[in-house]
Amino acid sequence: MAYAYLFKYIIIGDTGVGKSCLLLQFTDKRFQPVHDLTMGVEFGARMITIDGKQIKLQIWDTAGQESFRSITRSYYRGAAGALLVYDITRRDTFNHLTTWLEDARQHSNSNMVIMLIGNKSDLESRREVKKEEGEAFAREHGLIFMETSAKTASNVEEAFINTAKEIYEKIQEGVFDINNEANGIKIGPQHAATNASHGGNQGGQQAGGGCC
Amino acid sequence: MNFLRGVMGGQSAGPQHTEAETIQKLCDRVASSTLLDDRRNAVRALKSLSKKYRLEVGIQAMEHLIHVLQTDRSDSEIIAYALDTLYNIISNDEEEEVEENSTRQSEDLGSQFTEIFIKQPENVTLLLSLLEEFDFHVRWPGVRLLTSLLKQLGPPVQQIILVSPMGVSKLMDLLADSREIIRNDGVLLLQALTRSNGAIQKIVAFENAFERLLDIITEEGNSDGGIVVEDCLILLQNLLKNNNSNQNFFKEGSYIQRMKAWFEVGDENPGWSAQKVTNLHLMLQLVRVLVSPTNPPGATSSCQKAMFQCGLLQQLCTILMATGIPADILTETINTVSEVIRGCQVNQDYFASVNAPSNPPRPAIVVLLMSMVNERQPFVLRCAVLYCFQCFLYKNEKGQGEIVATLLPSTIDATGNSVSAGQLLCGGLFSTDSLSNWCAAVALAHALQGNATQKEQLLRVQLATSIGNPPVSLLQQCTNILSQGSKIQTRVGLLMLLCTWLSNCPIAVTHFLHNSANVPFLTGQIAENLGEEEQLVQGLCALLLGISIYFNDNSLENYTKEKLKQLIEKRIGKENYIEKLGFISKHELYSRASQKPQPNFPSPEYMIFDHEFTKLVKELEGVITKAIYKSSEEDKKEEEVKKTLEQHDNIVTHYKNMIREQDLQLEELKQQVSTLKCQNEQLQTAVTQQASQIQQHKDQYNLLKVQLGKDNHHQGSHSDGAQVNGIQPEEISRLREEIEELRSHQVLLQSQLAEKDTVIENLRSSQVSGMSEQALATCSPRDAEQVAELKQELSALKSQLCSQSLEITRLQTENSELQQRAETLAKSVPVEGESELVTAAKTTDVEGRLSALLQETKELKNEIKALSEERTAIQKQLDSSNSTIAILQTEKDKLYLEVTDSKKEQDDLLVLLADQDQKILSLKSKLKDLGHPVEEEDESGDQEDDDDELDDGDRDQDI
Ligand SMILES: Nc1nc2c(ncn2[C@@H]2O[C@H](COP(=O)(O)OP(=O)(O)O)[C@@H](O)[C@H]2O)c(=O)[nH]1
Ligand SMILES: [Mg+2]
């Protein structure tokens, strides 16, 4: 299906904070209480609309364990956005944010948009990290911030979409070099597609488009 | 390095002493010379010796060469020599000079040197950093060396690259190199890098490998391209095979659409070069990787849909029906189409509609089946067609129906003009070619798979055998052929068909048993002591007999379950029977066939089992064994138990249904209550809103009223003249009056003045006459006094006059000023001067405004009235909905009560049931004691639920 832009995202953060569940909730609109431990990296995709434009999000969900860290690092350079996730019911995951952020800043391109996410907001009774603390951390490090629940889907759409909006604005401001695919941004094929293909084929086929 | 010394020492024909010395000297020069030129020459010399004296150079020079790579980076030439030398030592590629028998040893050498080189992981990292050098002389040998290392010892080298920062990403940059040699060797490097390493495959894909590779393939002319295309395709296969994440990424990246162009091979193609055949083969395999039956079902089905939507399937079908396609490409295309349509209704429907461009056009299915039952066609092609047919029918009830329909009397084309699929299958089934028999039987079995309707339909098929003889049923004909004892494949094929046909279809079982020859034939086959060759057929006969028992509805008196079992016991023996039944799954080819759906046999002799049939065996082997071991008494008891169980089940089901209904009702009511609550809330907010609106209107109204009052007041004064800027009309009129007064006063004074004047005149004239009459200066003091008096009076009058005229002037100016002001005012207000006409106009104007205001007020009043009416209505509505809610509440309460009652009732029943269950349990245990296994009956329902969920999941993923 035709899109105006394609953004690549990565999801990072300690293991067990709900990265895979967030992705599943975003791409499939469902929650899986028992989720396999992510081995290395898993891929997911979805189309969203911003400013009336179709934007394809390609998302790589990474494994949080230390043993996969070197693999995970390979994904920073080519990503336009990162969701850095911690678990509001586990303070240690919040304490590790600095390490994650350093890692991300070191290996990514400087324009990468980072969204800080405090996940599992549905578990209010077990909360260990106050919302204000997340906000403060984000403010201090120049990140966008949101609390989400992959279980109830609260703010999940918003987290992914707001990150895309930020990237989109950066493009409008000319901050991103959109012709360099290494930045994790690609312009849609629709310009090229109108000239190419459409050979001697039945018209209906291309229009169907539900192939995403 | 001890082991290498061993290798070296073991060589009988070692190099001459001098060579070893030369190498040593060269190494010393590399190590110790301070002159770059000198070192460079030494490395060059080592390079020239490295092919012939690989072992010696490798052992003595490797560490020096690595040192050069570390320290002499500024000189690309020496780096290039060092890399080339290392390549020669490590690689097994360029070995032509070495004799054949030493190849093995040299292979060991390569991996041993690789091991030494990577023992220090920094060496690999160093090599990676050299690859960032743009200089061709460094980059190219560097690429070749790293490729060699990866080929020698893939996993450890991959691991080192994986953990070195951005290692994989840097290697991806090679694909962007404008120098073709480097780009092409980069592809080979990536091939070795991605082999069997999912993590690296994903990173490479993340770094846009798909895009790059597809671009290269397009640039090189797709299948017409050279070996680069082949290399790119192999790399793509590495990235996609068994890598679900990458497959998903490939699909999501809309790259499937780009594959379509690969298969646009026009008829006017300039022949089929070997390279083109290879390329197309790889392209077809790549399509199959994406839709392989072993992929997760959701993944495969979404790729299948995408392939239809972008026209890829259509393109493949074009190749299928084109002429001049090399046989192996055609075969692989058929296999590919098979997997693109397998289990995907839309694609299957499309496939059914494809016609061959013959005259008249024939359905592709028919054309393909013709090849399947044609002995002269290549074996692999015939297998491919069978696979295609199976995939077309897989989970395709509609397709199954259509195929079976072509065999039914009513639909057979009487003119005989066109061959139908059914005719071809029958022809194949009864031809003299045993492979055709097998293929046709399996194909027909797939038309019946899991489809009870078609199993019954097929019973209607009658065959005309020879003129004059009555027609025979298809079922009968199958058993006839079977009993004639033909080739093993024929019999195996027919038996698999019959087993499939009869399973889950009691009517077919009855038909089968109706022919009195069949059971004796089967028991005969099973009972006989035959060689190993025949064991499989015996097993299949046992299975068919077992099916005839298990799915028997006891409608034939001579062949009831019971009688057949007795027959087994008498003629064969239970143990013997079970053993024979076990021959099937113990067959060496059985497990092979059970792995993959594709009928893929190395040669015709291996064509024995069909994949779907192995599933059937798995399903039935156990239950048939159980059924055989059961005694007749047990059977009867079981039957009874079943009946009582059924009764109880019925009761339970009844109550379950009732509860379900009530549950539904409750749910509905709950919903109603909640919607009403919601409505109520809405209404209440509406009421509050409107009340506040009304209040607002009231306030506005009051305000307006006050304003209106004021306005009226103002407008009253208006009628007397223009009034603006604080000058009050009353004032003007007052001034006017004053002026008037002053005027009259003035007139009075003037007339007085005139009187005085005349008096003065009189006096003057009398004075003059007095002077003349009475001498000149004889003025009496009385006169003088009078005069003085008069004079005084006069001057007083004069000054008075003066002041008065001043006063008048002042008033006059004041007046004119006022008039002017009035005039300007009149100009701004359309009122001129102070004539009556103007005043009248003003009055009308004001009156108009007044009436407008009055009108407005009236309207407002009306509005308020309407609003308050509305409010009352809403309140009424509110009241009524409140009462409805109350009613509903009571209704709900009642229902609750009812539900509680029925629950209680149900509880009672449950207690009753529990009792019954207890009884059943005891019955069961009794049964068990008697040696009968008792089944649980609740499982099938649960499974169905699970399936539903699974389907939903699939659907989600497809979207
Ligand atoms: N209550 C709750 N549990 C969650 C939420 N997100 C994830 N989980 C649970 O947290 C566990 C780890 O989730 P997972 O997505 O595998 O974490 P990952 O290692 O970061 O990918 C799982 O058991 C999830 O069910 C959430 O928003 N709320
Ligand atoms: Mg995970």
Q: How far is the CA of A149 from the centre of ligand 2 (A)?
A: 15
For residue B417, the model assigns a pLDDT of 59
Residue to substitute in A35, A41, A62, A97 for testing ligand 1 pocket (most ligand atoms within 8 angstroms of CB): A35
User: B98 pLDDT exceeds 90?
Assistant: no
For residue B928, the model assigns a pLDDT of 76
Phi and psi at B355, nearest 5°, equal -115, 150
Average pLDDT (B347-357) is 95
Measured distance CA(B387)–CA(B601) in Å, rounded = 12
Cβ neighbours of B781 (radius 10 Å): 7
For residue B935, the model assigns a pLDDT of 59
Chain A residues in contact with B310 by the CB 8 A cut-off are: 205-206, 211
CA distance A103 to chain B (A): 12
Across the interface, whether the CB atoms of B203 and A75 are under 8 A apart is answered yes
For residue A159, the model assigns a pLDDT of 97
| Nearest-ligand number for the alpha carbon of A119 | 1
Lowest mean pLDDT among B138-147, B466-475, B944-953: B944-953
Residues of A with CB under 8 A from a CB of B: 1, 8, 28-30, 40-45, 56, 58, 60, 70-71, 73-75, 77-78, 107, 181, 189, 197, 199, 201-202, 205-206, 208-212
For residue A201, the model assigns a pLDDT of 40
User: B601 pLDDT exceeds 70?
Assistant: yes
For residue B780, the model assigns a pLDDT of 55
DSSP B571: I
| Interchain contact B959–A (C-beta under 8 A) | yes
CA distance B352 to chain A (A): 18
DSSP A49: E
Lowest mean pLDDT among A167-176, B96-105, B345-354, B946-955: B946-955
Contact B434, B486 (CB under 8 A): yes
A183: nearest CA in chain B? Answer: B207
Average pLDDT (B22-43) is 92
Residue B915 pLDDT level (bands cut at 50, 70, 90): confident
Q: Which position has the higher pLDDT, B300 or B914?
A: B300
Please name the residue ranges forming H helices in A3-127.
19-28, 69-73, 91-95, 97-107
B258: nearest CA in chain A? Answer: A197
Across the interface, whether the CB atoms of B168 and A74 are under 8 A apart is answered yes
Of B165, B957, B959, the CB nearest to A73: B165
Chain A residues in contact with B305 by the CB 8 A cut-off are: 210-211
Across the interface, whether the CB atoms of A209 and B309 are under 8 A apart is answered yes
| Burial B47-78, CB ≥16 within 10 A → b, else e | bebbbebbbbbbbbbbebbbebbeebeebbeb
Across the interface, whether the CB atoms of B169 and A78 are under 8 A apart is answered yes
For residue B786, the model assigns a pLDDT of 67
A39: nearest CA in chain B? Answer: B199
User: B109 pLDDT exceeds 70?
Assistant: yes
Domain boundaries, chain A: 5-191
Residue B838 pLDDT level (bands cut at 50, 70, 90): low
Model confidence over B504-550: pLDDT tens digits?
Answer: 999 999 999 999 999 999 999 999 887 888 899 999 999 999 999 99
Instruction: Round the average pLDDT of chain B to a whole number and report it.
Output: 84
Average pLDDT (B233-237) is 98
Cβ neighbours of A84 (radius 10 Å): 24
Of A41, A56, A209, the CB nearest to B245: A41
| Nearest-ligand number for the alpha carbon of A16 | 1
Q: How far is the CA of A20 from the centre of ligand 1 (A)?
A: 7
Binding residues of A for Mg(2+): 20, 38, 61
Lowest mean pLDDT among A35-44, B609-618, B810-819: B810-819
Binding residues of A for GTP: 16-21, 38, 64, 119-120, 122, 150-151
User: B503 pLDDT exceeds 70?
Assistant: yes
Model confidence over B553-599: pLDDT tens digits?
Answer: 999 999 999 999 999 999 999 999 999 999 999 999 999 999 999 99
For residue B832, the model assigns a pLDDT of 42
Q: Which atom of ligand 1 is nearest to the CA of A64?
A: 19
Residue B267 pLDDT level (bands cut at 50, 70, 90): low
Q: How far is the CA of A212 from the centre of ligand 1 (A)?
A: 26
Residue B721 pLDDT level (bands cut at 50, 70, 90): very low
Average pLDDT (A113-121) is 97
Look at ligand 1, atom 1, and give the residue with the nearest C-alpha: A120
Lowest mean pLDDT among B617-621, B656-660, B859-863: B859-863
B954: nearest CA in chain A? Answer: A28
ipTM of predicted complex: 0.85
Residue to substitute in A21, A89, A97 for testing ligand 1 pocket (most ligand atoms within 8 angstroms of CB): A21
DSSP B342: T
CA distance B399 to chain A (A): 23
Cα B16 vs. chain centroid, distance in angstroms?
70
User: B953 pLDDT exceeds 50?
Assistant: no
Residues in CB range of A28: below 8 A, 6 or more apart:
B956, B957
Q: Which atom of ligand 1 is nearest to the CA of A148?
A: 27
Measured distance CA(B626)–CA(B242) in Å, rounded = 40
Rg of chain A's alpha carbons, rounded to an integer?
18
Chain A residues in contact with B207 by the CB 8 A cut-off are: 78
Residues in CB range of B885: below 8 A, 6 or more apart:
B673, B676, B677, B680
User: B16 pLDDT exceeds 90?
Assistant: no
Q: Which position has the higher pLDDT, A129 or B828?
A: A129
Residue B412 pLDDT level (bands cut at 50, 70, 90): low
The domains of chain B, with CATH numbers, are 397-630 (1.25.10.10)
Chains A and B: how many Cβ contacts under 8 Å?
A: 89
Beta bridge partners of A8: A58
Q: Which position has the higher pLDDT, B437 or B729?
A: B437
Q: Which of B200, B248, B254 to mutate to test the interface with A (most CBs of A within 10 A)?
A: B254
Across the interface, whether the CB atoms of B169 and A74 are under 8 A apart is answered yes
For residue B812, the model assigns a pLDDT of 72
Q: How far is the CA of B245 from the centre of ligand 2 (A)?
A: 14
Best mean pLDDT range from B166-170, B331-335, B815-819: B331-335
For residue A146, the model assigns a pLDDT of 97
For residue B432, the model assigns a pLDDT of 93
Lowest mean pLDDT among B182-191, B521-530, B807-816: B807-816
- One-letter amino acid at B60 equals Q
User: A202 pLDDT exceeds 60?
Assistant: no
CA distance A189 to chain B (A): 10
Residue B726 pLDDT level (bands cut at 50, 70, 90): very low
User: B334 pLDDT exceeds 90?
Assistant: yes
| Interchain contact B257–A (C-beta under 8 A) | yes
User: B914 pLDDT exceeds 90?
Assistant: no
User: A210 pLDDT exceeds 50?
Assistant: no
For residue B723, the model assigns a pLDDT of 44
Residue B806 pLDDT level (bands cut at 50, 70, 90): confident
Across the interface, whether the CB atoms of B248 and A43 are under 8 A apart is answered yes
Contact B475, B518 (CB under 8 A): no
- Would residue B292 be called left, alpha or beta, if left means φ above 0 and alpha means ψ between -120 and 50 degrees? beta
Residue B781 pLDDT level (bands cut at 50, 70, 90): low
Measured distance CA(B45)–CA(B84) in Å, rounded = 12
User: B878 pLDDT exceeds 80?
Assistant: no
Residue B5 pLDDT level (bands cut at 50, 70, 90): very low
CATH topology classification for A5-191: Rossmann fold (3.40.50)
User: B939 pLDDT exceeds 50?
Assistant: no
Chain A residues in contact with B311 by the CB 8 A cut-off are: 201-202, 205-206
Model confidence over A17-48: pLDDT tens digits?
Answer: 999 999 999 999 999 888 778 888 899 999 99
Across the interface, whether the CB atoms of B310 and A206 are under 8 A apart is answered yes
Q: How far is the CA of A96 from the centre of ligand 2 (A)?
A: 17
Look at ligand 1, atom 8, and give the residue with the nearest C-alpha: A18
Average pLDDT (A123-147) is 97
Look at ligand 1, atom 14, and give the residue with the nearest C-alpha: A18
Model confidence over B817-837: pLDDT tens digits?
Answer: 777 776 666 565 544 444 556
User: B94 pLDDT exceeds 70?
Assistant: no
Look at ligand 1, atom 12, and give the residue with the nearest C-alpha: A16
For residue B2, the model assigns a pLDDT of 42
Contact B720, B918 (CB under 8 A): no
Lowest mean pLDDT among B111-120, B248-257, B338-347, B526-535: B526-535
The bridge status of strand A41-50 relative to strand A53-62 is antiparallel
For residue B941, the model assigns a pLDDT of 44
User: B901 pLDDT exceeds 60?
Assistant: yes
For residue B76, the model assigns a pLDDT of 93
Q: Which atom of ligand 1 is nearest to the CA of A85?
A: 20
For residue A84, the model assigns a pLDDT of 98
Chain B residues in contact with A78 by the CB 8 A cut-off are: 169, 206-208
Phi and psi at A7, nearest 5°, equal -115, 140
Lowest mean pLDDT among A50-64, B57-71, B688-702, B864-878: B864-878
End-to-end C-alpha distance for chain A, whole angstroms: 6
Q: Which position has the higher pLDDT, A180 or B711?
A: A180
User: B680 pLDDT exceeds 90?
Assistant: no
For residue B636, the model assigns a pLDDT of 75
Look at ligand 1, atom 28, and give the residue with the nearest C-alpha: A120
For residue B936, the model assigns a pLDDT of 54
For residue B413, the model assigns a pLDDT of 54
| Interchain contact B218–A (C-beta under 8 A) | no
Q: What is the pTM of this model?
A: 0.70
| Interchain contact B796–A (C-beta under 8 A) | no
- Which residues line ligand 1 at a C-beta cut-off of 6 Å? A 15-21, 33, 35, 38, 64, 119-120, 122-123, 149-151
Of A78, A209, A210, the CB nearest to B207: A78
Average pLDDT (B269-295) is 92
User: B390 pLDDT exceeds 70?
Assistant: yes
User: B955 pLDDT exceeds 50?
Assistant: no
For residue A155, the model assigns a pLDDT of 97
Look at ligand 1, atom 10, and give the residue with the nearest C-alpha: A18
The size of chain A, in residues, is 212
For residue B787, the model assigns a pLDDT of 62
Residue B104 pLDDT level (bands cut at 50, 70, 90): low
Provide the strand spans (E) within A21-128: 41-50, 53-62, 81-87, 113-119
Q: Which position has the higher pLDDT, B215 or B664?
A: B215
Omega before B360 within 30 of 0, i.e. cis:
yes
Residue B443 pLDDT level (bands cut at 50, 70, 90): very high
